[in-house]
Amino acid sequence: MMESVDKRWYVGYTWWITISAIAILAVRLIGLFVPAVGDNLHAWGIDITTVVLALITLLYRFTLYKKHTETLGLNFATLLLSMIQLTNAINMINITGWDNSWYILVLYTMFFFSGIVGIYPIIGGILLLSLYILISIPDINKTDGLTLQTVGTLAVGYLMCVISYFMWRNRYIDQESQKVSHLTGLLKSNQQQSEILIKSIADGVIVINTEGTISLMNPAAAKMVEWGIDEASEVAANKVVHLTKEDGKDITDEENPLSVVLKQQQQIDKTVQLIGRKDKKTIVSLVISPILLPKTNEFVGAVAVLRDVSEARKAEQQRADFISTASHEMRTPVAAIEGYLALALNEKVSKIDSAARSYLDKAHMSTQHLGQLFQDLLTSAKAEDGRLTSNPSVVELGTFVEQLTNDLRLVAEKKGLAMDFLTEAGNTVNATNGHVLQPLYYVYADADRLREVIINLFDNAVKYTEKGRISVGLTGDAKVAQCFIRDTGPGIPPEDLPHLFQKFYRVDNSATRTIGGTGLGLFICRKIVELYNGRIWVESQLGKGSSFYINLPRLTNEKAEQLQAAAANTVTAKPVNSDVAP
């Protein structure tokens, strides 16, 4: 693998050029006010051409140079800068004379370091010296055409070019190739072992470089995408790995995980549909991780792992279908039992003694719990297979959450708990002190579904908090609107936090054993929030309470007005049924 030039050489070389240009401009500026300096400017090789080239050097160094290092590579940007300075040095030598100009040392220095940006400046230096021989010394055949000093100057110039070539030839490498070389080196430090290891992995493995092209692919991945390994090498990953959403809908370029990981340089974990070259469709779990160099933390590419989960998805779908059907069918008899128990408990319908009433009350509560379980099972099944009904619209969370908090206040106060609505600045809003001025937090979601999530979190907070307060709050920034529900309950053990939003998971403690629950509420909340590209999580400390957070993408006021206007036009512009008589 070719060794690369350390970035410090480029930085030092460009700063040497920059300081030289600053010195030229400084001397020229001093000459405007100090006659002794101004009278000697030409003798020092500083004319209008020199000043203009020095200005171009500084303008390029502090503007376009930085942009070029990001797009064309550090070496190419340095090459452009050095060529400007090389032209300036030749001009200054021509003014002061080739036989005794001290600017020749500047030229030699540039020749010596020109190799860090490749062979081109070395060739350019040799050509410039040769051009000087042909143009500046036309009587070369005469005895006085070439002096010993001139010959020595040319010889040393050629020698510096040759030294530069041999010093840097095995170290020069352009920046993009350097990143690919690093990536290849990481993967093939022990080539034979790496190949055996990668080929033996059952999951598909694809390595892409910073340009988005495939550097390495194992046989499992080649089978999934239906491309040959050699055929896919150096081809754009988006072309080889054709991805759609799990339901078959197209993924935009901005959403494509292969593109997103190169921009954000963060791990991405998604379940998507992979369409092979021969239209074979596979549901895969896709995990793409950025590759960062250990010492410099420089991003050099990404590795994608594809796992075929088609069979697992089919099994999950069958389970979901069974749960959905069973829940739907069992809700009817359970509802009938609950209805009959309600009639039996109605004093106007039947008369029973106190002992029988206590038994019927317990049976009625159990039936209600069973009905809620079936409802949650049905909702969770719909959430998993995408059948969860949703009618999103523009919702202003400030008004929405505040109104919902006022509606739920009596439930908390009935248990002796205080309840607050907290704004962004931490101010408490209630009926006694009035409203405070707060920004508008617009989101695009189904208000009924959001209400379901907040009520579920609120009910949990009330059930598990014996004393203290429940706080519902709203905050956010330009991109995110955040709602939180905070309690002063017993808290959640750290080992339970990662599993809290899983299906049927419940914290095992004395409180959960005495308080009923299906273990599906938080799972449904997560699915609803994810339906609107949001995120839900919990932070908790034992003995200090828990805080549940909901993040939703925030709409700008302009975007919210556009969506509201579009919705209003859709409602008013109803199609006319021509079959109906006037």
The label of the residue with tokens 């010492």 reads 295
Report d(CA 567, CA 555) in Å as an integer: 15
The label of the residue with tokens 């799990």 reads 246
441 has a pLDDT exceeding 80: yes
| Number of residues in the chain | 582
The per-residue pLDDT for range 249-264, each reduced to its tens digit, is 888 888 888 888 888 8
Strand partners, 481: 476, 552
Instruction: Choose among 339, 352, 256, 351: nearest CA to 304.
Output: 256
Strand blocks (E) in 448-543: 469-476, 480-487, 535-541
Residues 6+ apart with CB under 8 A from 559: 442
Instruction: Choose among 201, 212, 297: nearest CA to 263.
Output: 212
Average pLDDT over residues 54-76: 73
89 has a pLDDT exceeding 50: yes
Question: Which residue has better confidence, 128 or 242?
Answer: 242
Q: Which two tokens stand for residue 365?
A: 């509560």
Residues 6+ apart with CB under 8 A from 372: 518
The label of the residue with tokens 């019927």 reads 360
Q: Whole-prediction pTM value?
A: 0.48
pLDDT of amino acid 36: 81
Query: pLDDT category, 177, cuts 50, 70, 90?
Result: low
Q: Which two tokens stand for residue 15?
A: 């700063």
Terminal Cα-to-Cα distance of the chain (whole angstroms):
83
The per-residue pLDDT for range 411-433, each reduced to its tens digit, is 999 999 999 998 765 444 444 45
Radius of gyration of the chain (CA): 37
Query: pLDDT category, 353, cuts 50, 70, 90?
Result: confident
- The Cβ of residue 74 has, within 10 Å, a number of other Cβ atoms equal to 21
Report d(CA 337, CA 343) in Å as an integer: 10
Alpha-helix residue ranges (DSSP H) falling in 447-518: 447-464, 510-514
pLDDT of amino acid 50: 83
Strands 469-476 and 418-422, how do they pair? parallel
**Distances from the Cα of 577 to the Cαs of 567, 573, 574, 581, 582, in angstroms?**
21, 12, 9, 9, 10
pLDDT of amino acid 178: 55
pLDDT of amino acid 143: 46
Is residue 509 within 8 A of residue 489, CB to CB? The reply is no
148 has a pLDDT exceeding 60: yes
The CA-based angle 311-501-244, given to 5 degrees, is: 40
Q: Among positive and negative, which fits the CA dihedral 523, 526, 528, 531?
A: negative
Average pLDDT over residues 113-140: 61
Q: Which two tokens stand for residue 95?
A: 């003014």
Residues 6+ apart with CB under 8 A from 398: 423, 438, 439, 440, 441, 474
Query: pLDDT category, 436, cuts 50, 70, 90?
Result: low
The share of the chain scoring above pLDDT 70, in percent, equals 76
Which one of 49-63, 353-367, 490-504, 548-562 scores highest in mean pLDDT?
Answer: 548-562
